[in-house]
Amino acid sequence: MRHFLSLRDFSKEEILEIIDLSIHVKCDAKKGEHIPYLEGKTLAMIFEKNSTRTRVSFEVGIYQLGGVGLFLSGKDLQLGRGEPIKDTARVISSMCDMVMIRTYEQEKIEEFARYSKVPLINGLTDLYHPVQLMADYMTMKELGKDKDPIVAYIGDGNNMANSWLNLAAKLGFEIRIAAPKGYEPLEQIVKQAKEFAEISGAKILITNDPKEAAMGADVLTTDVWTSMGQEEEYQKRLKDFDGFIIDEALMALAKTNAIFLHCLPAHRGEEVSEGVLEGTQSVVWQEAENRLHAQKGIMVWLEKHKK
């Protein structure tokens, strides 16, 4: 049985297989054909962090696949009253066919997975956001940006930056991370990505210069500068990230046909300008819709690999 906790756990072939499956499922949906791959199955959705895209995409996704989604907030569960994670995992996985968790600590979902009898999906942690990266790469492939791309991530070295490092290192393309000093991705994640890159041929650049990262890139992407749980750091981060906005001037350094991605929600005027977000190079709405289809692909793939 396989879980979907981070992209570091998957081979290049497996990642591409899930992407192809996601595109196939999307094509079916566009033709009005919602094939019930998961008919009668139940997905427990545990949310300890708020969400728009994750909540809607998983709940609609399991429904379109013929199953039922159960929304469970932290307040709904005994986890919020101190029940051990392993006890919750044993109980929920004995009643449901699959579980998705959106929470803070990566360690929490890893412990849940150890005691779960069914596949577990990481809907987001402070360390990784793998389901978002599947939607991002699916979008790149649909737009022909999957052939030896140069991807420039400009901003906080957070879970998105970590996941971009994982994806690039596994698939073998060039990733450039530009973050202010003190906000770079975690050293151990960069180290592991470089180890994977020795096998895949990926190129990895960590820099404090947004222009260096953006020069000649095929994809520019970013995330909010202040993530959930960091609200008290907001004013300091605004100052520290000065100059890291993806605006028209920075986009102009990329290739003329470069695209802009953002996992959303976006803070216009901070990490991205209004002109770029709403401009012709922005594909964030196609990317957002692909959260639905990519996650359906993940769920179908995990069900197939249960045994």
For the question of residue 78 being annotated catalytic, the response is no
Determine the residue type at 301: W
Given 3, 8, 262, 291, the catalytic residue: 291
278: how many CB neighbours lie within 10 A of its CB? Answer: 11
Given 3, 218, 263, 293, the catalytic residue: 263
**What interhelical angle do 284-304 and 12-30 show, nearest 10?**
110
Tokens of 257: 């046909």
Given 136, 146, 218, 223, the catalytic residue: 223
Closest CA to 5 of 152, 138, 103: 103
For the question of residue 102 being annotated catalytic, the response is yes
- Quote the CA–CA distance of 23 and 27 in Å, as a whole number: 6
Given 8, 53, 129, 262, the catalytic residue: 129
For the question of residue 235 being annotated catalytic, the response is no
For the question of residue 293 being annotated catalytic, the response is no
**Beta strands at 174-178 and 98-102: parallel, antiparallel or unpaired:** unpaired
- Under 8 Å between Cβ of 208 and 181: yes
Given 132, 146, 262, 293, the catalytic residue: 132
Closest CA to 297 of 2, 26, 7, 6: 26
For the question of residue 242 being annotated catalytic, the response is no
Active centre residues (catalytic): 102, 129, 132, 223, 263, 291
